[in-house]
């Protein structure tokens, strides 16, 4: 029996896959637990429409991420922090502080989890911080740390 999976099923397939399983397995497990539906022409058409809709949404998210990346590339965020001897900061600049400064200075709402900081910023100067907006889109945010 051909079945369209509604959820990921271990060792069988992912959501939206069309798989061939035995009739008993389909009736007693897949259909009973609502992990899939029988592959009728109506269900196949619904699957095509759903995949087309998901593709349009994914393309829209990618386009929005590219637009946001273009905005981020053109801005510079300035943080003023207390500094000790030799230009060393008391503590460090975290992604949370950067996100807050971007929101205050430029009005852009960025999630602190999207910043890819290999190490926290611990010195005065300019640093390019990668911001992962989408699996395919990464922007560089220019962050300048100054003495307060």
pLDDT value of position 53: 95
pLDDT value of position 91: 83
Structure tokens at 136: 């395919």
| Vertex 23: Cα angle to 19 and 14 (nearest 5) | 25
CA distance 105 to 29: 55
Inter-residue contact 87 to 123 (CB < 8 Å): yes
Mean per-residue pLDDT pooled into runs of 10, the chain (148 residues):
93 92 94 94 93 94 93 90 80 90 91 89 89 92 89
pTM for this model (two decimals): 0.71
């Amino acid at each position: 029996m051909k079945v369209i999976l509604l959820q990921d099923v271990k060792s069988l397939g992912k959501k939206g896959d069309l798989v061939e399983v035995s009739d008993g397995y389909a009736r007693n497990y897949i259909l009973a637990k609502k992990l899939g539906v029988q592959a009728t022409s109506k269900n196949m058409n619904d699957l095509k429409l759903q995949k087309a809709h998901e593709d349009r949404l994914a393309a829209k998210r990618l386009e929005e991420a590219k637009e946001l990346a273009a905005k981020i590339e053109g801005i510079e965020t300035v943080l003023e922090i207390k500094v000790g001897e030799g230009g060393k900061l008391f503590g460090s600049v975290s992604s949370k502080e950067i996100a807050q400064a971007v929101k205050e200075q430029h009005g852009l709402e960025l999630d602190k989890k999207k910043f890819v900081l290999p190490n926290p910023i611990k010195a005065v100067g300019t640093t390019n911080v990668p911001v992962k907006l989408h699996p395919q889109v990464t922007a560089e945010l220019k962050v300048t740390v100054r003495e307060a």
